[in-house]
Chain A
């Protein structure tokens, strides 16, 4: 039996909009063995609660979302990482937060737990006081002659999030990079438990500040699915507007920052100027530059202010007027191409195996985009066009981001004049249920899961795509010079806070 059939034979537990397949330990082991031979299911997220380990899969061919869970027995479950290497990072996080060990896991070193917490594991039913002193981090071994190690962080030279990068280099060439994160762990999931979805949405909006809209939409959709409520059409359309504005604003900032790392300060000045104008227009239209807390379970909390649509369109017009000139500078500068082309290349094979989603995937031959397949909300009514490149280098990621700016601009011009009339928010009654929600943030696919009992959250997870993107950054920089790391890193722009939870 193939992996998909194995899942369908398992017991279906109620979860909306996708039933959860509760496998027994032996069914799960057979499923993992089948997955090793079967590439049709991509691992998209993985997490746990005190009793089970959960995994979300996407079949890219037809957009089917499959949701599986397996009970943890005596603190153990069969590791998924031998069949899906991208599971390794999730397995380390599951061990740190819930204490479940992945038997035969590829990597069992701590990730989020640095030995500083007062009680561990923090999300277990009964955490135990942590009495041991923090131990030095153990890094992956590297063998060879003339190697040296460069430790960087957690506090970086620029204005970016904290994380530790351990480079091993031979001369100027990076032989291995290991990213050690967890510095930003704020205990967010624990804080959300015992709260209503409406209150907990504030935490979803603050998992990763640059994706506040993306995460808020995924969380709201999970909470709405659990309560079997649909947001009003106007709210669905406004969520699209928020999401596309967020996408454009982030891409403008990132494209500018990447190009600035190749010393093209003028282009950065222009891209970031447009970003500033867009954030101001957003403030006019929705009362907040980053649209924090604009999306709530059941709908949206703000309507389009008078004059807001005109401001946004005006900014998009001014960007469009300068776009060709900016693109021409990018295309016609040999010294820029010298830094961008073939730098930090991510192979299509690795992209297929890790399914990073977003512009990283689209620059390496992966067409996946949740807005198209399986689709959700207002995107089901509109067409989203996304180009795919295959070179997988910094240049490809910049070009995909540029194409996304153009497409999101087109979507905004389409949606804004056609906003449906009506209510902004639907009431969520204090019911019990389990829901899965997804959204395409600017980095890629975001997955949220929530279990509500009597109107209160009893278990929750928020999965940023960065879980599957960080390991690929580590590989993409191999063979590049250390000086090109900032270019590679910014072209990925993985979230630190998003995985630190």
Chain B
């Protein structure tokens, strides 16, 4: 039994795929902004709080998939946390509906500085197909400042992971700091 399992493991290899490459330009610009504050406070890891501010749930389905064994985001120092108070990153989906505006603002206010906001999906960019509806106030940046956008309806898990990896890259402490730890 054990031999068969071992043989299967050797034959098939791990299901987890290599991580996507980071976008160098975005990494550079984000790194510059964060250099002073973020590197001191955050290690090589980011805690993410997801907020659905009006999505159809399509983006949530794909964000969910980041946790599966194919993408396994925790190996990259990324993890989802249950409270904005524990978060470095707000991963926000959907247009901002009038009925979710207050909850989004409160989540944002509860997230300690320095923080990143990543707007996920076409609706999060400018309202997407819902642009012009009187029931929404617009894309995410109509409510809170946004650091990075991920396009797509919904974006693939790989596209979302690419931006998150870029954030980690931008956030990596200088070598001497790593040695001290």
Contacts and interface: CB of A to CB of B under 8 A. Distances in A.
A186 B50 contact: no
Nearest to A283: B156
Contact of A206 (B52, B102, B129, B135): B129
Contacts of B149: none
Nearest to B131: A191
For the residues of A in contact with B, the DSSP-based class is loop
A459 B134 CA distance: 18
Nearest to A501: B135
Nearest to A160: B60
B56 A154 contact: no
A154 B60 contact: no
Contacts of A391: none
B59 A209 contact: yes
Interface stretch (B22-30, B31-39, B65-73, B166-174): B65-73
A159 interface: yes
B61 A292 contact: no
A142 to B, nearest CB: 25
A186 B95 contact: yes
Contacts of B53: 162
B132 A117 contact: no
Contacts of B129: 191, 202-203, 206
B78 interface: no
Contact of A157 (B57, B64, B82, B132): B82
Contacts of A162: 51-53, 100, 103
B65 A279 contact: yes
Given A186-B135, A290-B154, A209 B63 contact: no
B54 interface: yes
Contacts of A311: none
Contacts of A183: 54, 97, 99-100, 103
Contact of B56 (A114, A207, A276): A207
A470 to B, nearest CB: 15
Contacts of A242: none
Interface residues of A, number: 45
Interface string A49-73: 0000000000000000000000000
B135 A497 contact: no
Contacts of B57: 161, 208-210, 495-497
Contacts of B68: 269, 272-273, 275-276
B109 interface: no
A81 B135 CA distance: 28
B103 A191 contact: no
A497 B56 contact: yes
A467 B59 CA distance: 22
Given A209-B55, A269-B68, A187 B134 contact: yes
A55 to B, nearest CB: 25
14 contacts: A118-B98, A155-B84, A159-B63, A162-B51, A162-B103, A183-B99, A187-B136, A206-B58, A209-B57, A209-B154, A276-B70, A290-B58, A290-B154, A497-B55
Interface of A: 114, 116-119, 122, 154-155, 157-162, 182-188, 190-191, 202-203, 206-210, 212, 253, 269, 272-273, 275-276, 279, 289-290, 292, 495-497, 500
Interface of B: 15, 50-65, 67-70, 80, 82-84, 94-95, 97-103, 107, 129-130, 132-136, 153-154, 156
